[in-house]
Structure formats: structure tokens, C-alpha cells
Amino acid sequence: MSAEEIRNAYAFAGPLIHLGALSDGDTIEADVPVNLALSMLNRHGLIAGATGTGKTKTLQVIAEQVAAAGTPVFVADMKGDLSGIAVPGEDSEKIRERAAKRGQEWQPRAGSSEFYTLGGQGTGTPIRTTVCDFGPVLLAKVLDLNETQESSLELIFHYADKNGLALLDLKDLRSLIQFLTSSEGKAELKGIGGISSATAGVILRELTAFEASGADVFFGEPAFDTSDLLRYDDAGHGIISILSLPGVARRPELFSTFMMWLLADLYQDLPEVGDQPKPKLVFFFDEAHLLFKGASKAFLNEVIQTVRLIRSKGVGIFFITQTPKDVPADVLAQLGNRVQHALRAYTPDDAKALKATASTFPRSDYDLVEVIPALGTGEAVVTVMSEDGAPTPVARTAVRAPESSMNPAPEAEVARIVEGSKLAKRYGEVIDRESAYEILNRRASEQATGAATPAAQQGSAPEEAETAAARTKTATKEDEGGGFFSNPAVRSFLRSAGTVLGREITRSLFGTRRRRRY
């Protein structure tokens, strides 16, 4: 295919993300740009390639331009090398010369950024959620439960919902499982089924190991409101949310599953918008193979459904991994934008993976089995969704340089950004209000001492919660200063009020709760 045909195929009418310029390996044609249509980013994408071939820099190139175009971005920083997006790149003659060859007018720029950590482990605004919001399907994936154990876990969540026992952190869930395997708890479960002692024992053991790994800090309150990811700076640029994951090697399945919760929660909250001139959010999922490793069939089905449906909410997802085979075929089929960096074929399995990768691209004049291993660092073969919904011709591309720093941001700069963050102040302080753990322990103490009052006087957990809610409502009316709802404890209480009050709740993707936003 001629250079002119490539130029026309990638010359979209709407706003563009510039990926780089056409290359034949020796010569770069700066006047033949290879672009992404901003409006088509909700068709999702894949950035793949062997370690060291430039995947992370390609992610950075796309993310900084998406944010500059007015769309918020979320990136998972697995290796700690994406924080540089928050500071300008280092100017030099070499970088400007390299950029010019790719048709890029390089200027050092930083993206407006927000740093997050899971549960406050590291420097950033803590992201936490409650156990009930996380849901049984995702939790079963994290705990590596089989289908029978997952079914029992769903029953436990159902019981908690029905009886107004708020599951906010892991000690709430552990206390409830212990109660439901006691003689009193087994009797209460008879009407809706039951769980065996062996199954409960497995769940408790996995839960204990999970807590011991430090994962307990990820669950609790104040629960993170995922709508805070859709924010803009004063200039109208999208905020780049950077989730730092320094401990990924210890619990990789937790981090990947936690990010899937973010997507599921966004899906449940965002309205249907259809195709828009630009997406509402673009989500970059680095080390995507961790998400699918050891996943159950039910979990994979929910991932496929999330990827397929969240497009209509205006959210684009990019998976970043080594080869397309790391992503299930049904998910891969939803990824219309492909950037493939080099793969090496040192073993028969490598050669098989290379052929499979080449087969996922549209037919082209390239022999991709020969071209892909020959790509240099910063080169890729590209095909994207055109504005009419058809794939563009495959183009060998010299990828442009990031305009933000290609090195990690200095720790002092990250600390400065976090210190000035309004979200850090909102979510920084841990809250531990009454929930299943406290309610069940109080009941056990009262029974042990014989001090329990008659049921008519004591009331059930939902009735107790209704009383607490009435007090909250009264306090709301009395609050004339407008500061009541800014209190993190109040915000968390209201978001999970459906559980506390024993109301009927709905769960959809992954069994996560559909929370009411106030």
C-alpha cells in the first residue's frame, strides 16, 4: 500500500491522537502521520510487545494527548515508571531531532495529575472500597475460590444484605462467616440454603491469608467515589489519575481485580451516552495478563460483558500486555485499536505466539511474521478503527516521543501534588463505623452475659440502622452551614445506606453494588 493511501486512511476528520509517522524500518516519512481518532477510543485498544520494546512510552504518548484533548485518563502504574507524566519532559537537541523525524513539534509539557494508592500504601490519595461494594464475584477471584465456594460466598453476601449487616471491611466478613457456621447461624440459613463447615473453613483460611498479605487496608471507609476519576483542570484538560501499585509482585491478582472493580463501578454509575466526539474517560490497564490469570469462567464472562457494554457509557479501555494471546479471544474481539511492538521468537512457543499475533491483524502488504520481530524499540505496527467503523490498513509506525518526562517523577514533586489535592483530604482519614463485626460481637456478648433484652425492645439490625438513619436525617435538617455532607463519614454512610437499612439492593456486573450517589 502506498504512502498516499496510508496518509488518507489515517487522516480523520475529527480530533486526532498522533501516534507517529510511517516507517519502512530505515526511512521515516514525517509527512505521513499515523493517527488515532479521539472519537473512536471507546472502541477500546491493545498495546502489546515484549519487555523493553516501548509499550509504556506508547501508553504515555496516547494518555497525555487524550488528557490534553479534554478527556480524563486513568492509568495503572505497575512498575513505577509512569509518574513522569506529571512533569515536563527534559528538553534536548536529540529529543527535538527525533521528534521532527516523526512529524512532531515537540514541546515539554506535563499533564495535570492526581496520584492514588490502594489503601494508602505509598504516596497518594487512598482508594478504598467496602467489602459489600466490591461484591462476591470479584472477591472470589481474589481469594482463588472454586465455583462451589464462590456460590457460598454469594449466599453470605445475600444474608448480610437481607439482615442489614454492613460488610465494610474484612473483619466484618470474617465475623459473619463465623456466625453463620455456628449453631444459631446455621438455623437462620436453613430457609435460603446453607454452607458447609468445610467450605466456610476454606473461605476463612483464604481470607486470613489475604489479610496477612496486607490487603485489609484496601477495604473500609471512606469508600472511593469513582466519579472522582472524571475531573478536569482549570484549562479544561482531563485530569490524569495515576494509581501507583508498588506491591504488584506480592498480590498481582488483587491489583488487577481491584481495577476491574473500578470499571464495573463506573459502568453502573455512568449514563448511556452512545458515540460522542470524545470519550468521557480512557482507562489504561497495564500488565493486563494479571487480570485473566487463573480466572473462573464466570469472572471472564463478566469481564467480557463489561468491556462490551462500557463503550456505550463513553469509556475506552486499553489493555497493555506482551502478546494478544494474554487476552481472551472474546475480549480481544472488542479491541478495535491495535499497537503491536516487537515480539521475539526464540522458542517454538514464541514462534506460535508470533503467528497468532500476526493473524489478528487485517490483511496487508506486510509479512507480519517477518516484520514484528524486526521492529526496533519505539516502532510498532498499527491498525485502528476509522471514523466509519472499519479497520485502517496496517501501518509500520515510528512512534512519537512523550512530551512529559520519560523518567519517574521526583518523590518531592509527587508529594507536593498529593499535599495540594482536595481528594487526599477527603479520603485520607480512615473511618470505622458500626458494622457487622460490632453488631455480631455485641449480640454474642449479650447472650453470653444473659443481658440480652427481648427482641421487641432490642430490635433487629435493620431496625437499629433505621434509628441511626433517622438520627442522621435529623442532623441533616439541623445543619445549616452546608458542611454536613462534606464529612467523609456521612458520605460513606449515605452511599451504603441501602445495606444498613436492610432495603432491597441490586447487583449487576461482578455482583458489585449499585450505589446511590448523593
pLDDT attached to residue 493: 45
All three cell numbers of 316, joined, read 475506552
* Residue 359 and residue 283 share a domain: yes
Residue 88: give the domain boundaries.
3-128+221-420
Strand order of the β-sheet with 113-118 is: 28-37, 16-23, 395-399, 379-383, 337-340, 45-48, 315-321, 281-285, 73-77, 240-244, 113-118, 125-127
Q: Is 203 part of any domain?
A: yes
Q: Is the pLDDT confidence value at 85 over 60?
A: yes
Residue spans of beta strands (DSSP E) within 299-409 = 315-321, 337-340, 379-383, 395-399
Q: Which residue has the cell 512533569?
A: 87
In a domain, 468, yes or no: yes
Pairwise CA distance, residues 322 & 56, whole Å: 11
Helix ranges, 270-333 (H): 289-292, 297-310, 329-332
Going by pLDDT thresholds of 50, 70 and 90, the confidence category of residue 12 is very high
Q: What is the mean pLDDT of residues 304-308?
A: 89
Domain identity same for 178 and 50 = no
Residue-wise pLDDT tens digits, 380-434:
999 999 999 899 999 999 999 999 999 999 999 999 999 999 999 999 988 989 9
Reported as a single tens digit per residue, the pLDDT across 236-264 is: 999 999 998 766 556 666 777 788 888 88
Q: Tell me: do 227 and 85 sit in the same domain.
A: yes
Tell me which of 390, 420, 450 is where a domain ends.
420
40 & 8 share domain: yes
Residue 482 has pLDDT above 80, yes or no: no
Same domain, 235 and 338: yes
What's the pLDDT band for 209 if we cut at 50, 70, 90?
confident
What 3-state DSSP class applies to 495?
helix
Flag whether 516 is in a domain: no
Output phi, psi for 61, to 5 deg: -60, -45
Please report whether residue 518 resides in a domain. Answer: no
Residue 517 in this model has a pLDDT that exceeds 50: no
Considering the domain architecture, whether residues 195 and 236 belong to the same structural domain is answered as no
> 187-201 pLDDT, tens per residue?
777 666 778 888 989
| pLDDT at residue 504 in the model | 35
Strands 45-48 and 315-321: parallel
pLDDT at 235 > cutoff 90 = yes
> Which pLDDT score, from 0 to 100, does residue 381 have?
97
State yes or no: pLDDT of 3 exceeds 70.
yes
- The mean pLDDT of 162-169, rounded to a whole number, is 92
User: CB–CB of 15/278 below 8 Å?
Assistant: yes
CA atoms of 311 and 267, how far apart (whole Å): 9
Task: Please check whether residue 467 lies inside any domain of the structure.
Answer: yes
Specify whether 207 is located in the same domain as 225: no
- pLDDT value of position 176: 93
- The domain boundary residue, chosen from 373, 400, 420: 420
Give the chain's mean pLDDT.
Answer: 84
Are 7 and 380 in contact, with CB atoms under 8 Å apart? no
Residue 503, pLDDT above cutoff 80: no
Size of the chain, expressed as the number of residues it contains: 518
pLDDT above 90 for 181: no
Please check whether residue 114 lies inside any domain of the structure: yes
Residue with cell 489478528: 360
Alpha helices in 37-130 (DSSP H): 55-68, 93-101
Do 204 and 241 reside in the same domain of the chain? Answer: no
Whether residues 321 and 436 share a domain: the answer is no
pLDDT more than 90, % of the chain:
55
Higher per-residue pLDDT: 55 or 510: 55
What is the pTM for the complete model shown? 0.84
| Residue (of 295, 351, 288, 349) closest to 322 by Cα position | 288
pLDDT in tens, 460-479: 445 444 444 444 334 433 44
More confident residue, 130 or 459: 130
177 and 278: one domain? no
Counting the structural domains of the chain, the total is 2
At a CB cut-off of 8 Å and minimum separation 6, what does 16 contact? 35, 36, 37, 38
pLDDT grade, residue 281 (50/70/90)?
A: very high
Could you tell me if residue 296 is inside a domain? yes
Of 71-80, 364-373, 479-488, least confident by mean pLDDT is: 479-488
Contact yes or no for 127/118 (Cβ under 8 A): yes
What DSSP designation does 113 have? E
- Alpha-carbon gap, residue 23 to 21, rounded angstroms: 6
Integer Cα distance of 309 and 92 in angstroms: 44
Confidence of residue 509 (pLDDT cuts 50, 70, 90): low
507 Rama class: left (phi>0) / alpha (psi -120 to 50) / beta: beta
Same domain, 141 and 234: no
What is the percent of the chain with per-residue pLDDT over 70, rounded to a whole number?
85
Beta partners for residue 46, in sequence order = 319, 338
Q: Are residues 437 and 333 located together in one domain of the fold?
A: no
* CATH code: domain of residue 245: 3.40.50.300
Condensed to tens digits (0 to 9), the pLDDT of residues 107-142 reads 999 999 999 998 767 789 999 999 999 999 889 888
Question: What is the model's pLDDT at position 248?
Answer: 57
Which residues on adjacent β-strands are paired with residue 383? 338
Distances (CA, A) of 183 to 180, 186, 453: 8, 5, 20
